[in-house]
Amino acid sequence: MTLQNMKYIIEIANQQSISKAAKSLYLSQSTLSTAVKEVESSLGITIFNRTNRGITLTYDGEDFIKYAKEIVQQSDYLMNRYQHRNYIPMRFSVSTQRLPFAVRAFKKLLETLNLSGYDIAIRESPTHLVIRDVAIGKSELGILALHESHLDTIKKEFAINDLVWNELDLLNIYVFIRKEHPLAHRPMLSLEDLKDYAFVTYDQELNSSQYTEEIIFYEILNKNIHVNDRCTKLALIRGYDCFSIGPDLPNSNADTFHKGLGGIVAIPLKESVEPLHVGYISRLNTNLKPMAKDYIDLLKNEISNLADR
């Protein structure tokens, strides 16, 4: 049984006539009759009842047509998907921790594109998934912000996966709270100041928590709210008296459902904490595509703006 035979039988069922189907497909009736007999013989069923008035589907025939249509539709989808991709002039993918400046650089990359077609992606993921995406070739670049004390350890993981670390800058750490927060007027904040407020933190797998882009771990704080994505974190910080700590968490006015909840302010953290090393990973001995290089230039600009803050 072939895919082509399935298509023939589906057309016969649609036309309710072998002669009409033959005319529609520009084939001989004998070719279609042979196709039907081959499928019926291989499956051990009868697909059509043949009468002087034409043909009708048997019970098995109706069941066969249902599944044959699904198979043909899936086949057509695969053909269209990958034949189309052959004509796409540019493909690019980047994976990143939940780093707003990486998303802003991607947005600016989109604004520069003047192509008839492209297939690009940005994936916000926990650290270990960023590493995996680049290692298996799912993404060309991986954007990371890493703790200085764990940098040597994670570099060993890069080496095991044949990845290269390219450092771009060091970023300072801020406390992010909404403008209406009781502490928003202060020029600096300490962890002691924040002890009565909830810390919004990203979930990380236990074996990779030291690789988080967040400079302070939730274990040392009394009140913690765990989230999986940046939009949820933004919504919580904008709507309640909780806080986040890191290098970047900009105001977001894209979600119209949260109008009136106020913006977010960045206040320096009083404690002396290690800066985050920001950079990107790529596969060893692999030349970057032009779009990847353009993205890195835009990323450098976004990071420079943060470093100058």
Cα Rg of the chain (Å, integer): 29
| pLDDT at residue 253, as a whole number | 41
pLDDT value of residue 254: 40
Mapping DSSP onto H, E and C, the string for 207-272 reads HHHHHCCCCCCHHHCCCEEEECCHHHHHHHHHHCCCEEEECCCCCCCCCHHHCCCCCEEEEEECCC
Domains of the chain from N-terminus onward: 3-85 (1.10.10.10), 91-171+276-307 (3.40.190.10), 174-268 (3.40.190.10)
Parallel/antiparallel/unpaired status of strands 141-147 and 91-96: parallel
What predicted TM-score, i.e. pTM, was given to this entire model? Answer: 0.66
143 or 91: which leads in pLDDT:
143
Q: What is the mean pLDDT of residues 174-178?
A: 90
Q: Which has more confidence, 202 or 261?
A: 202
Locate 277 and state its tokens: 């090393």
Q: Is residue 204 predicted with pLDDT exceeding 70?
A: no
Burial of 197 (0-12, 13-18, 19+ CB in 10 A): buried
Q: What's the pLDDT at 163?
A: 97
What is the tens place of the pLDDT at every residue in 25-72?
999 999 999 999 999 999 999 999 988 777 899 999 999 999 999 999
pLDDT at residue 206 above 60? Answer: no
Asked whether residue 250 carries a pLDDT value surpassing 90, the answer given is no
pLDDT at site 50: 85
- Cα–Cα distance between 58 and 50 in angstroms, integer? 10
pLDDT class for 252, splitting at 50, 70, 90? very low
Report the distance separating Cα 141 and Cα 282, nearest Å.
Answer: 5
Percent of the chain with pLDDT over 70: 86
Q: Are 247 and 276 in contact (CB under 8 A)?
A: yes
**Confidence tier at 261 by pLDDT (50, 70, 90):** very low
The reported pLDDT for the residue numbered 257 is 40
Q: What is the pLDDT of residue 208?
A: 47
What tokens were used for 16? 């309710």
Q: Which two tokens stand for residue 188?
A: 């600096």
Residue 294 pLDDT > 90: yes
